[in-house]
């Protein structure tokens, strides 16, 4: 196991008007030189202790990094892929010692679980599903949902993992008659699952019974919306969407995220809040992540922007560092850090306060 | 926004929709 060189760089300068601050605490350097595609944080048991580790994905290599003292990181395992490149890491909550990845070229062709042998000495890969996979999401209680096929042959499947990471059981959900773009859990409701579809509908499933409960058409102002988070409060469903195709509005600026409220009983919905870029900032949503009440997005301009969903406005901007645009951003699932990645493989860990 | 525009609200919407879907 080779120790990788990491470094702590200077804290970047911030716009004093923005109340949030991002402090750079650590940097992981990718020595492979291949194109970096994703990052995630997960728990991994090392020598009897569960450690908050970082997983990095390049096109053909996924690596697990364990924390050392003083914000240094050591690469302990790597999984190699020869034929199909990695598209994304699929974080599965409530599970340790396992990472899922989606592989493919433009579309997902395979989902694999990455593990280690019981003695911890060799890496293992298990094929979970293959085919024309459209959407995938890790769910609470060691579950993973994926949809494959299109229209009449669309299949929506839940895989539940055993504690040792093996695939325990599979269950099918009733498919909607339109292609699913994304899935989202409903916070606090472990049996509910949402999906957004190509026809700008939000569908609701009961995960216990597999029933498709409702199809709700949302405002057509923004096409191809991605659902990031949902919660139910006082009989209403609140949903945070991002709008990759949103056009700039002269009055509002660029809407990147939006909070909508849905009455699932009547299927009526309305917009509650638009989360736009501050004046003077240009760019559309490219990629992003929502955790608790914080949303982070990489914009087409190469900048990362963060919104406090409760305050309703952008709280921090992170311009490109070292002349390199940002290409992906994730909130850490193991603490409150922000993981920001560049195409060349460098991952920056920020503390957001 | 006005909650009244969303129609009658049920706190048990998930259970009610699940029962309706079983029929």
Summarize pLDDT for A167-199 with one digit per residue, the tens.
678 999 999 999 999 999 999 899 999 999 999
CA dist A136 and A101 (Å) reads: 10
Chain B contact probe: residue of A190, A192, A212, A213 with most B CBs at under 10 A: A213
Q: Give me the residue from A214, A265, A272 closest to B1, CB to CB.
A: A272
Q: Cβ of A261 and B1 within 8 Å?
A: yes
Kindly tell me the number of DSSP H helices and DSSP E strands found in chain A: 0, 28
CA dist A18 and A201 (Å) reads: 35
Is the pLDDT at B20 greater than 70, yes or no? yes
Q: Give the largest CA-CA distance in chain A.
A: 60
DSSP structure class, residue A174? P
Nearest C-alpha neighbor of A207 from the set A143, A112, A262: A143
Q: Which residues of B touch A237 (CB under 8 A)?
A: 13
Task: Answer whether A328's CB lies under 8 Å from A297's CB.
Answer: no
> How many CA within 13 A on the CB side of residue A298?
20
The number of beta carbons lying within 10 Å of the beta carbon of residue A219 is 13
Query: What is the predicted pLDDT for the residue at A251?
Result: 66
- N-to-C CA span, chain B: 34
- Model ipTM value: 0.95
Q: Give me the residue from B6, B12, B21 closest to A270, CB to CB.
A: B6
Q: Give me the residue from A192, A265, A268 closest to B10, CB to CB.
A: A265
Q: Which residues of B touch A213 (CB under 8 A)?
A: 14, 17-18, 20-21
CA dist A98 and A143 (Å) reads: 12
Q: Which residues of B touch A206 (CB under 8 A)?
A: 14, 17-18, 21
Nearest CA in chain B to A208: B18
Query: What is the predicted pLDDT for the residue at A219?
Result: 78
Nearest C-alpha neighbor of A182 from the set A167, A203, A207: A203
- Please report, for residues A64, A133, A177, A207, the alpha-carbon distance to residue A150 in angstroms, rounded to integers and kept in the order given: 34, 9, 9, 21
Query: pLDDT digit string (tens) for A138-161?
Result: 999 999 999 999 777 899 999 999
Q: Give me the residue from A209, A211, A235 closest to B13, CB to CB.
A: A235
Residues of chain A where predicted confidence (pLDDT) is lower than 50: 1-14, 16
Chain A contact probe: residue of B13, B16, B22, B23 with most A CBs at under 10 A: B13
In the sheet that A347-352 helps form, which strands lie side by side, from edge to edge?
Answer: A6-7, A22-28, A347-352, A337-341, A328-331
For chain A, helix, strand, coil in percent to 5 are 0, 60, 40
Q: Going by DSSP bridges, is the β-strand pair A180-187/A226-233 parallel, antiparallel, or unpaired?
A: parallel
Does any CB of chain B come closer than 8 Å to the CB of residue A263? yes
Contacts of A187 (CB under 8 A, 6+ apart): A229, A230, A231, A232
Chain A contact probe: residue of B21, B22, B23 with most A CBs at under 10 A: B21
Which residues 167-226 in chain A show a CB within 8 A of chain B?
A: 189, 191-192, 204, 206, 209, 211-214
């Amino acid at each position: 196991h080779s120790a990788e060189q990491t470094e702590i760089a200077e804290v970047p300068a911030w716009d004093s008007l923005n109340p949030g601050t991002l402090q750079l605490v650590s940097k992981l350097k990718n020595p492979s030189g291949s194109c970096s595609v994703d990052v995630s944080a997960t728990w991994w048991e090392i020598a009897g202790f569960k450690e908050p580790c970082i997983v990095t994905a390049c096109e053909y290599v996924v690596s697990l990094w364990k924390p050392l003292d003083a914000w240094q990181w050591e690469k302990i395992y790597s999984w190699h892929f020869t034929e199909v490149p990695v598209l994304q890491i699929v974080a599965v909550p409530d599970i340790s010692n396992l990472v899922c990845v989606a592989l493919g070229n433009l579309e997902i062709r395979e989902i694999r679980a990455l593990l280690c042998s019981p003695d911890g000495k060799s890496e293992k890969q298990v094929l979970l599903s293959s085919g024309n996979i459209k959407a995938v999401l890790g769910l609470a209680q060691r579950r993973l949902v994926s949809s494959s096929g299109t229209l009449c042959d669309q299949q929506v499947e839940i895989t539940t993992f055993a504690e040792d990471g093996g695939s325990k059981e599979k269950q099918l959900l009733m498919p909607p008659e339109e292609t699913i773009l994304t899935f989202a859990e409903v916070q606090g409701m472990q049996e509910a699952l949402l999906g957004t579809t190509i026809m700008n509908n939000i569908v609701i499933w009961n995960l216990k019974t597999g029933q498709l409960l409702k199809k709700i058409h949302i405002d057509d102002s923004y096409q191809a919306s991605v659902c990031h988070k949902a919660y139910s409060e006082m009989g209403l469903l609140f949903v945070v969407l991002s709008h990759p195709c949103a056009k700039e509005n002269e009055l509002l600026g660029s809407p990147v995220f939006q909070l909508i409220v849905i009455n699932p009983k009547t299927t009526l919905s309305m917009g509650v809040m638009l989360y736009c870029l501050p004046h003077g900032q240009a760019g559309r949503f490219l990629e992003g992540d929502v955790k608790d009440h914080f949303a982070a997005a990489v914009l087409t301009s190469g900048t990362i922007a963060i919104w406090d969903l409760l305050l309703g406005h952008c709280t921090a901007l992170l311009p490109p560092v070292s002349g390199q645009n940002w290409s992906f951003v994730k909130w850490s699932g193991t603490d409150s850090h922000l993981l920001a990645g560049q195409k060349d493989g460098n991952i920056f860990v920020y503390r957001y306060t | 926004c006005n909650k009244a525009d969303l129609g009658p609200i049920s706190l048990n919407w998930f259970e009610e929709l699940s029962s309706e879907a079983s029929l």
